[in-house]
Amino acid sequence: MQHRKNKLLEINTGVKSKPVFLRQLLTNLVRNGKITTTSKRATVLKAYADSMFSTLVANTTKYDEKDARRENIKLIKNEIFGEAEGKKLLDTLLPKFIESGKKSWFITSFRLGYRVGDGAEKVLLKIA
């Protein structure tokens, strides 16, 4: 049965499992501020990243400063590879999100055309 199954959220990750692959893509997005990938992977990554960033913003409003930082560090350690990327997210990106008052739409996407080799559609994802 195909009930409640979203085909858009299925991606072929090769050898790696899907969660590890998404964490690597998210880490590269936080490290560089932008990433170029195929449209299907961009759709999945955008949903994954927006969900994580909105949880981080919600934690800061739900808890006081010290508890919110502790909860956010716990979430970032589970979702992002690398200590430098986690610090960048916590110290520079998260205050920017809170300052702007955003609760969603943290990632913007731009279509770039098609790849030369296989004709797959390319999409640029940027942190807004």
CATH number at residue 38: 3.90.1030.10
Asked if the structure places residue 64 within a domain, the reply is yes
Question: Mean pLDDT, the chain, as a whole number?
Answer: 90
Ranges of beta strands (E only) in 1-128 are 34-38, 107-114, 121-127
Tell me the C-alpha distance between 81 and 77, whole Å. Answer: 7
Q: How far apart are CA 112 and CA 76, in angstroms?
A: 30
Domain membership of residue 56 (yes or no) is yes
Q: Which domain holds residue 44?
A: 17-127
| Mean pLDDT value of segment 21-45 | 94
Q: 21, 11 in Cβ contact below 8 A? A: yes
Q: What is the reported pLDDT for 2?
A: 66
Confidence of residue 4 (pLDDT cuts 50, 70, 90): low
Give the mean pLDDT of 71-87: 95
Q: Is residue 7 included in any domain, yes or no?
A: no
Domain-embedded: residue 50: yes
- pLDDT grade, residue 11 (50/70/90)? confident
The span from the CA of 31 to the CA of 126, in Å, is 11
Tokens of 75: 């979430």
117, part of any domain: yes
The reported pTM is 0.86
Residue 6 included in any domain = no
Please compute, for residue 87, the number of CA atoms within 13 A of its CA located in the half-sphere on the CB side. 3
Number of domains in the chain: 1
In a domain, 9, yes or no: no
